[in-house]
Amino acid sequence: MGVNVRRILIARGMIVLTLILIFCVAGMFVFGCGGANTRHAAEKDKIEREKAIELTGTISVRGSAAAPIILLQVDDGIAYTVQTSQVGRELMRLEGMRVVVQGNARSPEGKGPTLLDVHTYRILPLDTGETPVVGWIKGSEGSCVLKEEDGTEWKLTGDLALVLMDFDGAKVWVVGERSETDPSSREIVVTGYGILAEVY
């Protein structure tokens, strides 16, 4: 009789152990899926908070020289804080000018000011109606040449062109009277300019 009781107890113990193992495996599956769902939700939330965007606005700079804050004031009144980067530093030199920017906007943890990571930008026409040409200065046999990103080259002339010759390799914007008799003969009589970046 004692043997039978022990056998019954052992059998019951095995059943309990089996049930415990089943519940453990089921729990791991359920909570594992829940964890994955949580990660997917977090990733989705991040995507929603960090979106590709194109904005038009005016650049302003606040703060101090040591810690400048670059802002893009868009036409609907919202101000975006431009993240510091090479492009951001170029935008800082366009204070007061209107630009079109493309990049990613995000709000950290859904709070605070909207940060803008600018990838590219385009300078809009000045108050004079002139559209700046952006490129890199290069000296060429005693003359000053501006080379755009697409490879287009402009010969720069006038008194300000002589000044720009001292910035060989720098990224600049210029405005002035343009003449283009043929693709191999483009010229700008420079009436205004700005330095966007020193020699890289």
Report the chain's mean pLDDT, rounded to a whole number.
81
Distance of CA 28 to the CA centre of its chain: 41
| 21-30, 67-76, 86-95, 147-156: least confident range | 21-30
CATH class of 133-197: mainly beta
CATH topology of domain 50-123: OB fold (Dihydrolipoamide Acetyltransferase, E2P) (2.40.50)
Domain coordinates of the chain in residue numbers? 50-123, 133-197
pLDDT digits (tens, 9 = 90+) for 29-70: 444 444 444 344 344 444 445 678 999 999 999 998 888 999
Phi first, then psi: give them for residue 122, nearest 5 degrees.
-140, 130
Which element (helix H / strand E) includes 40?
helix 2-49
Distance CA 71, CA 90 (A): 13
Query: Would you state the pLDDT for residue 35?
Result: 47
What percent of the chain is helix, strand and coil (3-state, nearest 5)? 35, 45, 25
pLDDT digits (tens, 9 = 90+) for 149-181: 999 999 999 999 999 999 999 999 999 999 987
Asked if the domains 50-123 and 133-197 are classified in one and the same CATH topology, the answer is: yes
